[in-house]
Structure formats: C-alpha cells, structure tokens
Chain A
C-alpha cells in the first residue's frame, strides 16, 4: 500500500500526469452535470451519436491538417447536436433512426477519410486512440490543458446559473413554456453544452466511451436519491471520484485511461443498485 502511494506521489511530480489528472477530473465533472438532464430527457443516445460525429470531424480535421482541430470539431458537433435535438420534435424521420444514421454515418466517413488520406504511418493506432482515448490524455500540451480548463469552467458556471431553468425545461417543457421560458433557447444551450463536453471528453476517454461518462453517474445516483438536486450533486461526486481513482490506477498500473474510468463507473453502478435493493427490502 505504501509502495503504491509512493509511486503515485512520484508520478505526480511529472507535469503531464498532473495535467491529465486536472483535465480528467474537470471533464468528468462536466459530463456528469449534463448527464442527469440528458438521461431524463431521454437523450442518452444523442450523446452517443454526437461522439461519433466528433470522431468523423476529428478525422477530417486531421487530414486537412488543421492546426488546433478542436474548434472545428466543436463547431461540427454543435451543429449536429442542434439538428438532432430539433429532429426529436419533428417526426418526419424517426428520431431514433436519425440518431443511428448520423452516428454510424459519421463513424464511416471518419474512418474512411483517415484511411485513404492520412499521412500518418500508424493509421490503426490513430483510430484506436481517437476511439478509446488510450494514452492521449498523457500527451496533453499546456495549451490543451488551458483550453480544457477554460471550457470546463464555462460549462460549470453556465450550469449553475441556469440550474433552475434546466430543471424546469427537463421536468415539464409545456409548463415551462407557459411560464414564459424560452424553451427552444434552453434546449439549444443544452445541445451546445453537450457537444462541448463530448469534444472535451474525447481527449479523456475517446469517442466510443464518452456516453458512459455522461450516463453512468446519473443513472447510478438516480438509484438512491429522490430529488433533482441530490441526484445532480451525487452524480458529480461519483464522476469526479471515478475519474480521479481511474486515472491513478491507469498511471500506476499502465491500464488504458478511458476504459479504467468507465469500469470504475460500472462498479459504482452495481454498488448503488445493490444498495437500492437492500434499502428497499428493509423498507427504507
């Protein structure tokens, strides 16, 4: 145990490990905050679809050699987020099918572009990194870290300021509208925040595993808590703890970062589910 602790301390002396730690925890926090709303709005799969869009955009960006491809990926993802959310209300194409189409379509385009046009010698390595995050979080530059910190802070501040309105829009759109709230605007804000989180989280866990970061903390805390506030706070705590422990384990044990964090979340989900069952049987 002491050996592990010493190892962690010694790793923490490296700036790249500290960067990874800070960025990872911030991204996990953001993802869990929006997760509660997305799960309750039945938008879980929109997050998944968007992460594939982000992958496609990333592929295109890296081929046309955009320096600093994050803004490009962010804009493309945000536009798709808005389209998908609008499509949710428009029944001409089944929303479910629309998400699946956009999602796999973007995945195919991204992979194709990377394969055909990429100048890199290790295409499958690049693809794997973008999909599963692998070690990219340990290669963050100072600029990336700064951008991540600024964007995460913006997401958190925005969420806190709009918290009550986000609740109203999530619980009952019709009523919120009748009370004079611009529901379309808030749905738009939710969509844009979601895409920011997804693009950020791509660095941490890769595009295939982002949905886990958004959904698991929310669903876990819903097993045990009864109010929106308690669920949101608990989801944030779960997500931050899982990210922190996951990153430490992966640094010490050499496991892939993204997968380790997600597995931590899965464990918490089962622990909370078990606690829920036990509490129910004793009659709470």
Chain B
C-alpha cells in the first residue's frame, strides 16, 4: 500500500487555488523530486500534506501506518533564523516539541536520539555552536538531523540545496541519497532539475499540466517535446 496518496488535490491559500488536479502516490523507498516554476505551489503542496495549510479540495490519504506526525520536514530557512541565538543541539532536539504532555522537558531517550542523528549527519562536534554562525551546508545538516529525529520513515525537503555552493550542494545530494538507500522515503522540492533527477526515482511536475511518473518517463516526454 502507498504511504501517501493524493487524489484530485487542490492547494493554495485563503481559498485561492494555486495548483489543482494533483494526483500521485508515494511508495516506501521512493525518491520523489517535485519540480516546477516559481510560484506554482510546490511548497504549498508539501505544507498541505503536512497539515500546515488546509487543503482546498480533493483527498490526501496515508497508508502503511503513516500519519502526519511521522513525516520529517525540512522547511526553507526564515529571516529570523539569521541572527537567532540557538545552539545546534537545541535546534535538533526541538524535533520532539510536539510529542510530550504538559510537562515539557525532553527525556533521556529523546536526547540520545538527537545525539545519534547529529552524529549521523556529521555535525556531532558542532552541538554547542551557534546555529546561525554555521555554513549553509552545515545549517542544512542540522535541519536534516532535526527532520530525522521527528521521523525516520519519510522526509519532505523544501529546496535543501538552495543557497549552497556547488560542493556543499553535491554533499547534500549524496547525504539524501544515502538516507534513501537506507530505506527512507524522500520527497524533495528542487530548482536544480538536472542534478536532482540523477537521484530521483519519480518526478512530480507541478504546472499547467501536472505530471507524475518515473524519472525515465519524464525524461522521455521532455526529450520528445524538445524534438
């Protein structure tokens, strides 16, 4: 059964539709690359699936025991984060902010999980450093570690390589591919179509004509149009 299935989904804000007729399903282990021009609703789609924004019509269903809270999310960075005084470990452990009852202190188990994921992303030695003073690539690794804490089955990444230099971007792609090889399902928004298609198993194109299918099919269609 598919992890996530969207049928005739329309997304947007304030009841204004930006993208509609979105149909796709994501299976365990897939690597879906979401592409499309600016302003076509890629981020809005992801936020809608995560429940941050209300869906306007259509349906989103979760299968395989997945629920909204099980999705790890890597959002785009905000302006406020540029001078925010937060240590790396504080950012990573905030992944568990939604999981507790009234008494909001993190358990030993959660602290251990945060540590494991920091090591996994190669940022363990930066745990006490200020997040905003790190390089772009390091910052994305921090956010990736946080996303992994929140969920280890499926990740949704909103332009994880934006603003990174080519080397850091390549590293990021490798890291994401490695996670995918470990069995984590990836849904990634990307502007860098050329590079990201090397890694993706499926493509979701959001635009006038929405497309969803395997990467090979997408490449074929695109080539035919060129001819």
Contact = CB atoms under 8 A, between A and B. Distances in A.
Contacts of A167: 86, 90, 94, 97
Contacts, number: 101
Given A178-B73, A226-B130, A171 B52 contact: no
Contacts of B128: 226-227
B50 A177 contact: yes
A172 B130 contact: no
Given A42-B80, A175-B73, A227 B90 contact: yes
Contacts of B94: 164, 167-168, 171-172, 175-176
A161 interface: yes
Contact of A165 (B52, B90, B91, B97): B97
Interface in A135-169: 161-165, 167-169
B85 to A, nearest CB: 5
A120 interface: no
B85 A172 contact: no
A40 B71 contact: no
Nearest to A174: B75
B85 A162 contact: no
Contact of A225 (B75, B83, B84, B85): B85
Interface in A160-197: 161-165, 167-172, 174-181
B130 A178 contact: no
Interface in A223-279: 225-231
Interface residues of A, number: 30
The winner among B71, B104, B105 for most chain A CB atoms within 10 A is B104
A230 B85 CA distance: 9
A219 to B, nearest CB: 11
A227 B80 contact: no
Interface string B16-50: 00000000000000000000000000000001001
Interface string B101-124: 011111000000000000000000
A226 B129 contact: yes
B80 A161 contact: no
B51 A177 contact: yes
Contacts of B73: 174-175, 178-179
B52 A179 contact: no
Interface residues of B, number: 38
B150 interface: yes
Contact of A175 (B75, B84, B102, B105): B75
Contacts of A229: 87, 90
Contacts of A171: 80-81, 84, 86, 91, 94
A164 B85 contact: no
Contact of B104 (A162, A172, A230): A162
Nearest to B52: A177
A102 B136 CA distance: 39
B91 to A, nearest CB: 7
B90 A179 contact: no
Nearest to B85: A231
A227 B68 contact: no
Nearest to B43: A174
A58 B183 CA distance: 62
B68 A161 contact: no
Contacts of B98: 168, 176, 179-181
A18 interface: no
A57 B129 CA distance: 45
A88 B158 CA distance: 24
B202 interface: no
A228 B69 contact: no
Contacts of B68: 178, 180
A172 B143 CA distance: 11
A178 B87 contact: no
Contacts of B84: 40, 170-171, 228
B187 interface: no
B167 interface: no
20 contacts: A40-B80, A164-B93, A164-B105, A167-B90, A170-B84, A171-B80, A171-B84, A174-B47, A174-B52, A175-B73, A175-B146, A176-B98, A177-B50, A178-B68, A178-B73, A179-B69, A180-B98, A181-B97, A226-B133, A227-B85
